[in-house]
Structure 1
Amino acid sequence: MNTTKKYITLLFLLLFSSNIFAQTIESMVQKLVDSVYAANPKAAGFALYVEAPDQHLSFGYAVGYSNRETKQKLTADQPVLIASPTKPYVAAAILRLVEKGKLDINQPIKKYLTPMSEKVLSNAGYKTNSITLKHLLSHTSGIRDYVDEGYFKFIGEHPKHEWTRDEQIERAAGLGKPLSDPGEGFHYADINFVLLTEVIESVTHQQYYKTMRKLLGYKKQGLKVTRFAKFENAHKNTAPQAHQYWDEFGWGTYNLDPSWDLYGGGGIVTNVKEMAVFFQQLFGGKIIKNKNVLAQMTTDVPPNLEINYCLGVRKIKYAGLLGYNHGGGLGTDLIYIPQLNASIAVVSLEAGHRPIAVEISKKIVGLLKRQ
């Protein structure tokens, strides 16, 4: 056999083995999700997507119902409200402005806030000339969150209330004194990212969701479905948005005005494929191209290294491998594993089953790790 034939044979064998591996993983994941759903039918449905180019994997799967009442089957391309995994998108937009030389995350927030927001926070005892953008990105600002039991109670009683960002900032400021001095404590709070979208608007003089679309290059990255609820219309060929449930509160997302979780702490509507693709492109250096700027996103931020929250993402281990992750209250989980160069997005349509969605993701990482 001459050299050319040997090369062609070797190439064929490699392609064949890669294809067999991909098919095997897909089959194993499907069986895993089917068995998990069979044991947890109250989850309504699970959808997931695996993006692992080095292992020739790019596939989605879904099981269950996108609507409990009509028993409409859930498909993996259906968009959902992703809730807090919106935060990495906001953080990436801020770092894109850093990359463009328009921001320094060590600058105080005072000059970027609207006069109303600056006054409200200052009157509540917050030192806006000491709180930096980095403090907001890492939840170390010490600002109390507007999200508490009273907030959820109000939403339950007024599901169609149209919240404004100003209302949410005022509510946060009215809940009491600062939780800590800037940089002295980690306190996860949506208010930090709500304020960051105000910063984006201050710098770019355009609504944050329009600016984010440009800064993150939705079109270039192939993110056709990704949009902010209420403010942006769905693409004409987009599958219908799935119903999501939060049984603890008796909520269905179709019955709530999206403004309760819209201004940066949450708010993005997309499907599991585009979630995974976004993380793959982001951490692959396709969105923030300056490596030093991108590295800031995954650099530890004191003082609380047990949480390992960096800038809009946290470091966590799945199946023993380090990953960059963010989960959301509406049952979503998104992670990128550098060692595997792989991204996994999982959603449970019933929010209380999010821990099970996380376990699905961990088991998928385990499958990829063993290959």
Structure 2
Amino acid sequence: MGSRSASTSVLFCVFLFGALSCRSHEPEVLACEPDAVRASLQQAMQEALEAHPGNAGWLMSVRIPSVGLEFSEAVHSAKVDTLDARAPFRIASVTKTYLAAALLRLVEDGKLSLDDTVASVVPAPYPELLRAGGYRPEQMTVEQLLTHTSGLYDYAQSEDYLATVLEAPDHVWTREAQVRFALEHGRPVGAPGERYVYSDTGYLLLGALLEDRTGLGLAEAYRRLLHFERLGLRSTWLETPESPPLAPQSYDGFPLASIHATADLFGGGGLVSNTPELARFFEALFSGEVFTRASTLERMTRVPSTNTEDGGGMGIFRLERAGAQPCYLHEGFWGIAAMVCPELDVSVAIAGLETTQLGTGMRDLLRAAVKAGTECRPAP
């Protein structure tokens, strides 16, 4: 489900990086002591737990391959009996990074073009449904769906959809029902290519496109195109009723495990993972282990002029760092964040247990990871 507001990236430079990186000169390069860095990260997690007692726990992983640092820990309050550092959870909208990457793999293989129109490549019944809803699928492109510039109303971030899900958490949804929900509850938010508006609806269509072009279900398409086995992603999968128990997350006290997986399964969300594997995938994406050409990653991270304020590329968001190279991030509605800072050789993934009680904890933990990468960056 969606979680990205139009003002988020504007605030990140001030609130995430703060005095650490939003300045015109390079930060001081310190000697890296991995044990000290791990202790610092553990302390940051404990402080985040104590500062926001409404959130019962945190999961966090940080990877800095250049110095051999792998950190994965869990902290929790007395509200939770135990919490495994590798506990799986719904990654929600972070799934969009995986879906965008999978479609870009098809582009690399010549099986899809970013200029293809929705009318020409998205399977039935979706083009006709869009026309009936006042949209022009002949003018929407795959690239616009990927960059949230198609003009599609976002069903998942509407109060109506969340209320409907919480009122009937065991309801079994379909992709078509969710697209119809979008058409019934909202109107076009702009002409194709005119403006940025985050849209899970667009990623529902991209999920249908991925299945149609590969002849596979989403689970297998992700696994094959993104090289899950080669990357060691053995605890990342598309959720099914047979999935093992997940981390005890909640939304305003409502257990997420009570919500049927189909509420967010068809492209905008749906994957289950853990923080070590989330951090590993974001690292792999930027280290040449997913795409066959460097130009594909450049295309994925390119920010259209319509998206400058929010920093949105294709399934990933660019976070500027004054005087330094950017970091890249995606967040998930249920209190999830995954980020990579290529210049610092650091990737991080974080999950909180109570979505509505995270406070500044997520921001503070992301800052702690950036600090770790800054301290462990090799001297020039």
Alpha-carbon distance in structure 2 between the residues aligned to 1:50 and 1:140: 32
Equivalent residue for 1:105, pick from 107, 114, 136: 114
Give, in whole Å, the separation in 2 of the partners of 1:331 and 1:64: 15
Give 1:278's aligned residue. Answer: 281
Distance 1:221 1:370 in 2: 27
Structure 1 stretches lacking a partner, 5+ long: 1-16, 235-239
**2:327/2:341 contact within 8 Å kept:** yes
Identify unmatched segments of 5+ residues in structure 2. 1-29
Name the CA distance, whole Å, in 2 between partners of 1:95 and 1:204. 13
Hey, what does 1:204 align to over in structure 2? 214
Higher relative contact order (CA 8 A, sep 6+): 2
Structure 1 position 358, deviation (Å): 2.6
Within the alignment, does 1:335 sit opposite 2:339 as a pair?
yes
Counterpart amino acid of residue 103 in structure 1: L
* 1:140 and 2:149 aligned: yes
Give the secondary structure class of the aligned counterpart of 1:183. Answer: coil
Is 2:360 the partner of 1:350? no
1:246 correspondence with 2:254: no
Structure 2 partner of 1:8 = none
SS of corresponding position for 1:163 = coil
Distance of aligned partners of 1:354 and 1:182 in 2 relative to their CA distance in 1, 3 Å threshold: farther
Distance in 1 (alpha carbons) for counterparts of 2:242 and 2:135: 33
**Structure 2 CA distance for partners of 1:232 and 1:226, relative to 1, 3 Å:** farther
Assess, with a 3 A threshold, how the Cα gap between structure 1 residues 103 and 227 changes in structure 2: closer, same or farther.
Answer: same
- Specify the alignment match of 1:126 in structure 2: 135
CA distance in 1, matches of 2:101, 2:180: 26
Structure-2 separation of matches of 1:264 and 1:223: 19
Instruction: Give, in angstroms, the shift of residue 134 of structure 1.
Output: 0.5
Q: Provide the secondary structure at the position in 2 that maps to 1:73.
A: coil
Work out whether residues 87 and 193 of structure 1, in 8 Å CA contact, stay in contact via their aligned partners in 2: yes
Question: Does the Cα contact within 8 Å between 1:137 and 1:192 map onto a contact in 2?
Answer: yes
Deviations, residues 75-122 of structure 1 (Å, cap 9, x unaligned): 211001111111100000000101111011111111222321111111
In structure 2, what is the Cα distance between the partners aligned to 1:83 and 1:243? 15
Note the C-alpha offset of 1:304: 2.8
Contact 2:48 2:364 in 1 (8 A): no
CA distance in 1, matches of 2:83, 2:313: 34
TM-score after normalising by structure 1 = 0.88
Match of 2:23 in 1: none
Shift of 1:274: 0.2
Q: Distance in 1 between matches of 2:275 and 2:192?
A: 35
Pair 1:24 & 2:32 matched: no
Which stretch shifts more, 107-116 or 131-140?
107-116
- How far is 1:231 from its partner? 6.6
Q: Is this contact kept in 1: 2:218–2:238, CA < 8 A?
A: no
Aligned partners of 2:345 and 2:373 also within 8 Å? no
Q: Partners in 1 of 2:56 and 2:127 — Cα distance?
A: 43
Dislocated runs of 4+, deviation >6 Å: none
Question: Which structure is larger by alpha-carbon Rg, 1 or 2?
Answer: 1
Count of residue correspondences: 344
Correspondence 1:65-104 to 2 at 5 A = 68=79, 71-104=80-113
Q: For residues 110 and 154 of structure 2, what CA distance do their matches in structure 1 show? A: 30
1:55 lines up with 2:77 in the alignment: no
3-state SS in 1 of match to 2:205: helix
Contact 2:231–2:281 (8 Å) recurs in 1: yes
Identity among equivalent positions (%) equals 32
Equivalences for residues 203-352 of structure 1 within 5 A: 203-230=213-240, 233=243, 240-247=245-252, 250-317=253-320, 322-352=326-356
